Structure 1
């Protein structure tokens, strides 16, 4: 049956209308599934080697931030660090970068209270120590405002610091006397002087060169740095101290203004990823790196011995005045240092690790 011109026009109209509706529907579907455009981009300064836990977990943290905010908050990890380890705090505070991590001990004299988790014999796993440190920091240290000018995203430690050298096996504290040992600053610098070691303050990034050229006789280093910094190629002896010869305090920082520019709803989504969440993440990463390090040292045929009870007891006694001096410093800042040290031990013992 032939259609009239009016019927034909109607068919064209309704066909076009149907097509338009379909097109709009598809557009709506596409809009629903398309990722949200980034509203905030965080420039991240990362100076550690790419395989080191600080750097690798910066990537993982940024991935999680983007995921939980559905792409509204993203990171731009700068391909080359614009601030050195010692410059990062000021770079974050001034807004040159938005996020960065620091080693508190690299800037001698700037931080006092962050020495709390760095004393010898604190604990055996980075996860337990890091979670304990974050909890004690929140409850007892943050109010002292040592990080004025930045937002602290988290604090944590690495695994227990150990002894690596190129001269001889270390079985007693006396075996360390007179050796030039690279240190990362903080309490280990004071520990070194107390036991007769010559401390050489240098960042981890210079360790391989220092050892390979004989500028230092050894390093006080956590196991986690063994593989990223190629220690099996240069060290000849390793001594592991139960509880650690020392530890290092790390901080993750954000520029306060940039952080506040993140919409409140998205900050709430990010919150579980920082604080204790980030401290635990970092602790786990450092513990995993420690396990990898032991295998690498074993494969390289490097002798590894464990410090005996006499070594540990002498270390505790020799460094007791350092704790007492720190407690006195903390008191001047309105902090009960003895209570802080006890709380760290208690919390570390109570932390459940995977």
Structure 2
């Protein structure tokens, strides 16, 4: 890690200007939209998607990257000669490459070898250098070693995500959601549903709703092979699956330091095939392609809405549209890719379509 000379006026001036540039990016970017998802009005339940795909780098991770850069700059960890290194499944790396180029810093993204080609191309477009590793569980260790070898700064999103964002406000995603809901018929949602990659988003939202004394609960949806859900069930936070998640951007083989289970009210495990089935249905209904993690989010939201209906409640549920499905043309939207991975979407498509038609959630077989 580059150590800045605190008596070096030139370095301090560079940091001051870098912070201005990063904050200017937030200032000139309009807030993301809150989109209604089509459900029958007679249900009395509204579902909203916070569309994070419209950020300049196309995903929810733009917020995280901006926060991590500000955190590193204000802590004196990033300076004018820093090489930035990150461990990522792709989207965080794209966003960090964008900010690194903005500041004139080299950037290296350590990622699983199976990261979608579209994401790799986007990292390179923003001036970053991909460093691919065969074992998805090894990306953090490899990134840490690489940063040490290069004398650079390891951003370490999995450790710092929950502390780099100001959860009390300051235009975080939770504050934005509640401001945008203010004029809706159910302005305080029953549930906010998110996935966990670092755990930073669920930590921010969970803390914010408590700080604001809202009744809203937080549900974390977790894909197959991720450690968060089994650790939640057993209370063993040392749980390790030893496998990476097929749904890019969420799920981890170990429970990361940024995940704060005490502010999560519920967890739902979602089969990979279910995530990709609902991804397709949402893409049809919205008229645009969405990514796999959005499918994961919606599967959990559908289950919770069916539960609200079963208990005679009305209200609203919010989840995230994390990124565009255009990043997954050659993977999640490819029939050949699905066949290679042995994924059968048919039963999950049927279950989700039944929900959208009837409003109830069929029991597991």
Compute the TM-score of the two structures, normalised by the length of structure 2. 0.27
Asked which structure has the greater RCO (Cα within 8 Å, sep 6+), the reply is 1
Q: Is the helix fraction higher in 1 or 2? A: 1
Compute the TM-score of the two structures, normalised by the length of structure 1. 0.28
Larger radius of gyration: 1
